[in-house]
Amino acid sequence: MPNMSSRTKAIPLSGIREMMDLALATPGVLRLEIGDPDFRTPDAITAAACAWAAENRMSYPPNSGLPELRAAAARKVSRVNGFACEAANVNVTIGATGALYLALLAAIEPGDEVLVPDPGWAGYPAMVALAGGVFKAYPLRAENGFRLDFDDVAPLVGPRTRAIIVNSPSNPTGAVNDAAELRKLIAHADRHGVWVIADECYDEVVFDGTSACVGTLAPLEGSPVLSAFSLSKTYAMTGWRVGYLVAPKDISAQVTRMQAASVASAAVIAQRAALAALEGPQDASAAMIVAYRRRRDVATALLDAAAIPYIRPQGAMYVFVDIRAAGLSSRDFALTLLREKAVCTTPGDAFGTNGEGFVRVSLACADADLAEGLSRLGQFVAARR
């Protein structure tokens, strides 16, 4: 039998998925491990998609996405994210994952190096490997609230570096990066011919002030910034699989060709739902963000009462909890907590070596589950101090 390609062996396994699988096999488990909103997709969004389907209008959409959706995404970026954008800058993709992967394919050659945050979303290294690149971690430090520090990243930019991935608000920490640090990073990347790929999945899930969207800090045309957006978290549309990539127009045109050759397009019914999300009422989305903020405050109050340290999230839907006092590795902590207390979290080392000593607790769950899960976590830590 012929050999499989080397890229199939280069993709690391996801620690997030490992915990998800274990949770599914554990009766009565409290699931605090996954960032999948517990809210329904707003009814107006689902109704718009169903109405479109009822008309039996299911022909192929353009590879770059429905023109009206591209225009709506451009208006949203200009209005919400604060930088000028046109429909020609937008490619509709299969989730933000599709946008990130297409950005990597556009940015790197096989063997090129991509700097990824540590801790950072577990999908980045796998995605880089699948695109033929080599990932190299840049440190985000607990003592700095896991925010990006330009002085930690700049020395890592070498002759083979072609892209730097930035995520703010951050998965897993909820940290929001400082605009001044991001500006320095963009300028440094531009001088060295390096792309900045901004993962803006949580761009609207912000609790304390305004998030620093990377695209706001540089002109779209002629800049090194490629921005991946998602509807999954803002509108509870994880299963619809719709995102979009915002890029300079010449890059966007090439991305369209790559998408045509790989997946053709995002599903047309999901695109109609996305159009309803962006153009329709925003009250349900705003209510979700209020709920996440409330859960953040409930979670941190419970952790304070149990004297368990954590990184206070400024956005996203997670609390990164410091469990070093328990005397276990992150993975052993998560596995033992699941086995003894039926509470599923994600070990911090699933997000990189700098996540060791922490576990990620998701706020995308019912209020009662969050409170009970953190109560059990507190009991678990207290018993091992």
pLDDT in tens, 171-218: 999 999 999 999 999 999 999 999 999 999 999 999 988 777 999 999
Mark whether 317 and 378 lie in a shared domain.
yes
Residues in the chain: 385
Same domain, 251 and 351: no
What tens digit of pLDDT does each residue of 312-332 get? 999 999 999 999 999 999 999
Strand pairing report for 318-322 and 358-362: antiparallel
- How many structural domains compose the chain? 2
Residue type, 292: Y
Instruction: Note whether 145 and 272 are same-domain residues.
Output: yes
The answer to the question of residue 244 being in a domain is: yes
Asked if 235 contacts 41 with a C-beta cutoff of 8 angstroms, the reply is yes
Do 233 and 255 lie in a common domain? yes
Q: Residue 1: inside a domain, yes or no?
A: no
Structure tokens at 257: 């060709």
4-8, 46-50, 97-101, 147-151: segment of lowest average pLDDT: 4-8
Q: Is the predicted pLDDT of residue 46 greater than 80, yes or no?
A: yes
110 and 68 in one domain? yes
pLDDT in tens, 360-377: 999 999 999 999 999 999
Please identify, among 215, 244, 279, the residue that sits at the C-terminal boundary of a domain. 279
> Which domain CATH number covers 303?
3.90.1150.10
In a domain, 245, yes or no: yes
Question: Is the model's pLDDT at 290 over the cut of 80?
Answer: yes
Q: What's the confidence (pLDDT) of residue 6?
A: 79
**By the 8 A CB rule, do 122 and 349 touch?**
no
For residue 67, being part of any structural domain is answered with: yes
Query: In sequence order, what are the beta bridge partners of 198?
Result: 166, 227
pLDDT at 93: 98
Do 272 and 320 reside in the same domain of the chain? Answer: no
- CA atoms of 104 and 108, how far apart (whole Å): 6
Same domain, 275 and 289: no
One domain, residues 25 and 96: no
Q: pLDDT-derived band of residue 24, with 50, 70 and 90 as boundaries?
A: confident
pLDDT of residue 246: 98
Give the mean pLDDT of 58-77.
95
Angstrom distances, CA of residue 80 to CA of 76, 224, 272, 287, 331: 6, 21, 20, 17, 38
Give yes or no for residue 107 having a pLDDT over 90. Answer: yes
Q: Give yes or no: residues 84 and 214 share one domain.
A: yes
Label residue 11 by pLDDT band (50, 70, 90).
confident
Burial of 219 (0-12, 13-18, 19+ CB in 10 A): exposed
Assess whether pLDDT exceeds 90 at residue 13: no
- Indicate whether 137 and 228 sit together in one domain: yes
- Same domain, residue pair 267 and 173: yes
DSSP codes joined into one string, 71-92: HHHHHHIIIII-S---GGGEEE
CATH of the domain at 251: 3.40.640.10
For residues 347 and 331, give the distance between their C-alpha atoms in angstroms, rounded to a whole number: 5
Is the pLDDT assigned to residue 159 strictly greater than 90? yes
Residue 321's beta-bridge partner residues?
Answer: 310, 359
Confidence at residue 58, expressed as pLDDT on a 0 to 100 scale: 78
Q: What is the pTM for the complete model shown?
A: 0.95
* Residue 75 covered by a domain: yes
Domain boundary among 241, 259, 279: 279
Domain range for 13 is: 7-41+283-382
Q: Both 334 and 304 in a single domain? A: yes
CA–CA distance, 54 with 101 (Å, rounded to integer):
33
Closest CA relative to residue 214, chosen from 166, 171, 246: 166
Spatial distance between the Cα atoms of 248 and 243, rounded to a whole number of angstroms: 17
Type of residue found at 339: R
Residue 15 has pLDDT above 80, yes or no: no
Q: What is the share, in percent, of the chain residues with pLDDT greater than 90?
A: 87
Give the residue from 221, 255, 279 where a domain finishes.
279
In a domain, 134, yes or no: yes
Does the structure show a pLDDT above 90 at 22? no
